[in-house]
């Protein structure tokens, strides 16, 4: 192939077809997934995606990318490949594992989406899993001694709770009262979403068995505490610092769970009769000081907006991972968004529902896709999260139900073809 012909490759539109997740559980011996394997949770998600999308032939899946932060034991052995085999996909379907800590599933989506845009894939499955009961955060890790001896990072940077306290120090206007109020609102919004059946549609029922207890079927999340009040949260201890501000009530817990999503090129989705819930507009990752890793979504969002030619005012919905309330509020303050802005986490967030590290990115996407369907007046939304060791990730999506969606995708196709021909 001549260089001139190779240069004519067009960038293709990438669409989010469908996403599911298991109910999230509490990590530990009393949690619903104690004794359950992490890879089995992923398999449940993959099988459910195939069941929900019967027009998608299994042999049309070009890649399976599954993220896990701790890639050992039942989360090891190239989990994207092993989960594909265990789920019954054809042996011709490849798979790989990926790690970007909390943004694992989000990176699985953006990495495979890039392959779709380039033309290497037509249809992929991307997701993540974290069984923090089987694999406590940092278990088995061996940080290089240079981090300490050369003071590359403050020791506090290796503990996420400490980084949240550091963020409070940097932004004294974000008080404990504000974070507790935000956390109570997250619990209330999730309870309302459950009551309106806005969560259940994307949950995969999971049957588990515990010795002496028998089988149980789990269809709802375990972590939520509906009815939580600011007064309740004010009584909680601050484990990361004496007289601190971060508590178990205004931070996400330790959780188990898995997610998975189908993405495709717009052409493949049309050919196979697959739904289009969102179109990927742009994405970005950014590095920040590890000691205040929670600020990561700010520069990541600024980069993603610049790449898309958009401004923060163009964003009609925000799905922000609530690792810590202070982290969300630092993002809102930076962009001049009120703590109770109705565009932000309409169904509540990780403070209420849980945050099984590498799996959470697709949960954000599921919730944004559902809100797009409910509110066609919104054209653009974002999914964003902070990442341990000092990073942030943001993905901007377009709502296919918005009246301007069809014309925008046509313009994109024309632009890509013109640029390819010019090259």
366-422: per-residue pLDDT in tens? Answer: 999 999 999 999 999 999 999 999 999 999 999 999 999 976 665 554 344 334 433
Query: How do the domains of the chain map onto residue ranges?
Result: 7-134+153-398
Q: What is the pLDDT of residues 212-245, one digit of tens each?
A: 889 999 999 999 999 999 999 999 999 999 999 9
> Whole-model pTM?
0.94
Note the pLDDT tens digit of each residue in 235-294. 999 999 999 999 999 999 999 999 999 999 999 999 999 999 999 999 999 999 999 999
According to the model, what pLDDT value does residue 212 have?
A: 84
Over the chain, what HEC string results?
Answer: CCHHHHCCCCCCCEEEEEEEECCCEECCCCCCCCCCCHHHHHHHHHHHHHHHCCCCCHHHCCEEEEECCCCCHHHCCCHHHHHHHHCCCCCCCCEEEECECECHHHHHHHHHHHHHHHCCCCEEEEEEEEECCCCCCCCCCCCCCHHHHCCCCCHHHHCHHHHHHHHHHHCCCCCHHHHHHHHHHHHHHHHHHHHCCCCHHHECCEEEEECCCEEEEECCCCCCCCCCCHHHHHCCCCCCCCCCCCCCCCECCCEEEEEEEEEEEHHHHHHHCCCCCEEEEEEEEEECCHHHHHHCHHHHHHHHHHHHCCCHHHEEEEEECCCEHHHHHHHHHHCCCCCCCCCECCCCCHHHHCCCHHHHHHHHHHHHHHHHHHCCCCCEEEEEEEECCCEEEEEEEECCCCCCHHHHHHHHHHHHHHHHHHC
Active site residues: 102, 355, 386
- CATH code for residues 7-134+153-398: 3.40.47.10
Confidence at residue 148, expressed as pLDDT on a 0 to 100 scale: 82
Residue 418: predicted pLDDT: 38
């Amino acid at each position: 192939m001549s260089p001139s012909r190779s240069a004519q490759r067009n960038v293709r539109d990438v669409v989010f077809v469908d996403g599911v997740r298991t109910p999230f559980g509490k990590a530990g011996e009393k949690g619903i997934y104690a004794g359950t394997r992490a890879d089995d949770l992923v398999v449940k998600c993959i099988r459910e995606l195939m069941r929900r999308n019967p027009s998608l032939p299994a042999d049309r899946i070009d890649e399976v990318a599954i993220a896990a932060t701790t890639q050992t034991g039942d989360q090891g052995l190239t989990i994207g490949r092993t989960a594909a085999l265990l789920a019954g996909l054809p042996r011709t379907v490849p798979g790989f594992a990926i790690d970007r800590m909390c943004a694992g599933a989000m990176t699985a989506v953006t990495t495979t989406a890039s392959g779709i845009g380039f033309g290497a894939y037509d249809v992929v499955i991307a997701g993540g899993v974290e069984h923090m009961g089987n694999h406590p955060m940092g278990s088995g890790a061996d940080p290089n001694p240079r981090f300490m001896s050369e003071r590359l990072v403050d020791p506090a940077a290796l503990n996420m709770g400490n980084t949240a306290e550091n963020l409070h120090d940097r932004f004294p206007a974000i008080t404990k009262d504000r974070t507790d109020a935000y956390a109570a609102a997250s619990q209330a919004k999730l309870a309302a979403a459950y009551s309106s059946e806005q969560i259940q549609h994307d949950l995969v029922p999971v049957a588990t068995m515990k010795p002496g207890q028998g089988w149980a079927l789990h269809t709802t999340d375990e972590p939520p505490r509906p009815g939580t009040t600011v007064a309740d949260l004010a009584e909680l201890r601050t484990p990361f610092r004496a007289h601190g501000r971060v508590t178990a009530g205004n931070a996400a817990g330790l959780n188990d769970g898995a997610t998975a999503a189908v993405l495709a090129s717009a052409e493949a989705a049309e050919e196979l009769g697959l739904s289009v819930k969102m179109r990927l507009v742009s994405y970005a990752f950014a590095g920040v000081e590890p000691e205040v890793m929670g600020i990561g979504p700010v520069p990541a969002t600024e980069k993603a907006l610049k790449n898309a030619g958009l401004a923060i005012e163009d964003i009609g919905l925000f799905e922000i991972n609530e690792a810590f309330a202070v982290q969300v509020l630092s993002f809102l303050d930076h962009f001049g968004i009120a703590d109770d802005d109705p565009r932000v986490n309409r169904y509540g967030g990780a403070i209420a529902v849980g945050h099984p590290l590498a799996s959470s990115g697709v949960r954000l996407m599921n919730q944004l896709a559902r809100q797009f369907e409910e509110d066609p007046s919104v054209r653009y939304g974002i999914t964003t999260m902070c990442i341990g060791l000092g990073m942030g990730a943001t993905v901007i999506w377009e709502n296919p139900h918005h009246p301007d969606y069809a014309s925008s995708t046509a313009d994109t196709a024309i632009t890509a073809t013109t640029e390819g021909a010019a090259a």
